[in-house]
């Protein structure tokens, strides 16, 4: 049975998508059957693995609105043990679509559609990684309800923890109402610039706040991670000897060793 991990932070630009792609690819390389779900209408995770809209017929919007069975939206990538369900701008319409559905049918559960869809396939994977959009709206709520745990990327910058209280409150809301077993997988420090002191200060602050929940692995700020998606590759294929490849490999090992906690 897959462990389902959502990458959530309503702040944009903190490394959710970069981590989703590269953690999913690294888990695949570690021999784990992995499915990456792009749950952001920007489709950056899909593009980052080399997919264009013309390459597929169905996307995650079709899945959670019930227009296509989930198995028909899964695309095998050329990377080891890695499949993806892509997203397109269609997903931006989900809030309106679900309000309409609730007006037509008062029993419709707008936050449970992804969980229901994943139930059909989760025994086929070891890990399902969900790349959320920078909001705590309906699509992210679907991810939280469907997941076993949440991985929170935090950028090593001023205001790193801005908005975290709101995020933790959303997690508690979901735990209290729809998914009592939802856990915090861990907090991941991203984009550390080793040449500045501010990075080290943030590390200390985040560790004080989240203690052992903070991953030992810290993702360095490296330009190779910015380049890789434009070549449609995870970092491990774009630059196998990069420090970034090693960092994501270490993160994957930590995630595997936490599995079952
Ligand atoms: N470790 C890193 N080093 C350098 N640039 C990074 C790193 N992680 C992410 N980036 C860049 O920062 C920007 C935001 O990252 P992204 O993963 O898209 O964040 P999010 O999905 O949270 O919005 C992107 O341009 C990405 O290439
Ligand atoms: Mg993103």
Round to the nearest angstrom and report the end-to-end CA distance of the chain: 15
pLDDT band, residue 68 (cuts 50/70/90): very high
Specify whether the CB–CB gap between 39 and 113 falls below 8 A: no
Q: Is the pLDDT score of 198 beyond 80?
A: yes
Mean pLDDT, range 3-30, rounded to an integer: 97
pLDDT of residue 39: 98
d(CA 148, CA 130): 11
Specify whether the CB–CB gap between 143 and 8 falls below 8 A: yes
Q: Is the pLDDT score of 178 beyond 60?
A: yes
User: Which residue is closest in CA terms to ligand 1's atom 12?
Assistant: 13
Mean pLDDT, range 163-190, rounded to an integer: 96
Mean pLDDT, range 71-85, rounded to an integer: 98
Q: Is the pLDDT score of 205 beyond 60?
A: yes
Measured in degrees and rounded to the nearest 5, phi and psi for residue 137 equal: -80, -160
Ligand 1 center to residue 133 CA distance, Å? 13
User: Which residue is closest in CA terms to ligand 1's atom 25?
Assistant: 226
CA atoms within 13 A on the CB side of 42: 12
pLDDT of residue 115: 98
User: Which residue is closest in CA terms to ligand 1's atom 16?
Assistant: 15
pLDDT band, residue 160 (cuts 50/70/90): confident
Ligand 1 center to residue 224 CA distance, Å? 11
Mean pLDDT, range 76-105, rounded to an integer: 96
Ligand 1: residues with CB < 6 A are: 12-18, 44, 134, 190-191, 219, 221-222, 225-226
Q: Worst-scoring range by mean pLDDT, 59-68, 86-95, 251-260?
A: 251-260
**What residue ranges define each of the domains in the chain, with the CATH number in brackets?**
3-258 (3.40.50.300)
Give the mutation target among 9, 11, 15, 195 for probing the ligand 1 site: most ligand atoms within 8 A of CB: 15
Q: Is the pLDDT score of 260 beyond 70?
A: no
pLDDT band, residue 159 (cuts 50/70/90): confident
For the segment 225-250, what is each residue's pLDDT rounded down to a tens digit? 999 999 999 999 999 999 999 999 99
Of 152, 150, 145, nearest in space to 177 by CA: 145
Q: What angle, rounded to 10 degrees, do the helices at 94-104 and 138-146 form?
A: 80
d(CA 21, CA 205): 27
Mean pLDDT, range 22-44, rounded to an integer: 98
Mean pLDDT, range 3-24, rounded to an integer: 97
What is the total residue count of the chain? 261
Specify whether the CB–CB gap between 129 and 5 falls below 8 A: yes
pTM beyond 0.85: the answer is: yes
For residue 218, the cross-strand partners are: 189
Higher pLDDT, 50 or 198: 50
d(CA 251, CA 41): 26
d(CA 112, CA 90): 19
Over its C-alpha atoms, the chain yields an Rg (Å, rounded) of 17
d(CA 84, CA 76): 6
CA angle centred on 183, ends 178 and 184, rounded to 5°: 130
Of 158, 150, 164, 171, nearest in space to 215 by CA: 150
Mean pLDDT, range 25-35, rounded to an integer: 98
Give the mutation target among 226, 230, 235 for probing the ligand 1 site: most ligand atoms within 8 A of CB: 226
Could you give the residue ranges of the DSSP H alpha helices within the chain?
16-29, 44-48, 60-64, 94-104, 113-119, 138-146, 164-177, 197-210, 223-227, 235-238, 243-258
Mean model confidence pLDDT for the chain: 96
User: Which residue is closest in CA terms to ligand 1's atom 11?
Assistant: 226
């Amino acid at each position: 049975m897959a462990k389902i991990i959502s990458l959530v932070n309503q702040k944009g630009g903190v490394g959710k998508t970069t981590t989703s792609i590269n953690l999913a690819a690294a888990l695949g390389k570690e021999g784990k059957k992995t499915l990456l779900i792009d749950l952001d209408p920007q489709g950056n995770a899909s593009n980052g693995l080399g997919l264009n809209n013309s390459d597929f017929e169905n996307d995650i919007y079709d899945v959670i609105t019930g227009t296509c069975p989930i198995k028909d939206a899964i695309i095998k990538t050329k990377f080891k043990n890695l499949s993806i369900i892509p997203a397109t701008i269609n997903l931006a319409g989900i809030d309106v679509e679900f309000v309409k559905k609730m007006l037509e049918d008062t029993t419709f559960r707008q936050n449970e559609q992804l969980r229901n869809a994943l139930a059909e396939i989760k025994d086929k994977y070891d890990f399902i990684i969900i790349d959320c959009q920078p909001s705590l709206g309906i699509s992210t709520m679907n991810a939280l309800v469907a997941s076993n745990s949440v991985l929170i990327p935090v950028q090593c910058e001023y205001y790193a923890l801005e908005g975290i209280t709101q995020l933790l409150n959303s997690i508690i809301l979901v735990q209290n109402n729809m998914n009592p077993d939802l856990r915090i997988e861990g907090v991941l420090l991203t984009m550390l610039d080793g040449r500045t002191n501010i990075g080290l200060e943030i590390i200390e602050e985040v560790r004080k706040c989240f203690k052992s929940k903070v991953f030992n692995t810290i993702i360095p700020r490296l330009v190779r991670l910015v380049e890789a998606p434009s070549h449609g590759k995870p970092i491990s294929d774009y630059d196998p000897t990069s420090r970034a490849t090693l960092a994501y490999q270490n993160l994957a090992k930590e995630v595997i060793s936490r599995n079952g906690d």
